[in-house]
Chain A
């Protein structure tokens, strides 16, 4: 069965600092991997996705993530955080094809001045 672990429940960073959110997945085959962001009262917005190919993927809002098969990880990074990045971030894994996603429990990001 698929599973996703986001080890950090809550992270606080200063505006302008770099950010890395961790995601580890468990899946027996080649996974499809996603990062979504959820602002309060909003739905999930896709930040980026990995299907195959280049293991470093670029997304919206200056985010990137790196797929490391040997570590079963798909960590999200941003070089310089903006106050508007404060939100809940979810990592998700799907099987090859259009199947239901399995989400982690999320990491809440707070940004301080």
Chain B
């Protein structure tokens, strides 16, 4: 597609439910990032994929958060047993090159706004 696509755009979950957020990166982009943006804050890094390999998951806030990119294209961020503090906008970004691949630009999707009640 022309840009990074994320779905759903909005998700309301009851506390304790599991959710899955999808990211479809720009075709051919090797790198994929997930960020979390709390209300009134800047985005914060969660995890990074190079093709299907998850090279960095240092930003995942707890073991309830899990991400995958099994075929090196579409990625899913899963949150188990959601809590109110998980309410945020989850942004996905993709870029053309590998880690340490030089001057790269990250292109962002519109995000998924998760509200946990």
Instruction: State the Cβ distance, A7 to closest chain B Cβ, in Å.
Output: 14
Q: Is B25 interfacial (CB 8 A cutoff)?
A: no
In the complex, the number of residue pairs spanning A and B with C-beta atoms less than 8 Å apart equals: 62
Instruction: State the Cβ distance, B97 to closest chain A Cβ, in Å.
Output: 5
Instruction: State the Cβ distance, A25 to closest chain B Cβ, in Å.
Output: 13
Q: Is A99 interfacial (CB 8 A cutoff)?
A: yes
**Chain B residue with the shortest CB-CB distance to A99:** B99
**Chain A residue with the shortest CB-CB distance to B56:** A100
For the complex, count residues of B whose C-beta is within 8 A of A: 31
Docked-complex contact A98 and B100, CB < 8 angstroms: yes
Q: Is B41 interfacial (CB 8 A cutoff)?
A: yes
**Chain A residue with the shortest CB-CB distance to B104:** A98
Residues of A bordering B, CB below 8 Å: 4, 32, 34, 36, 41-46, 49, 51, 90, 92, 96-106
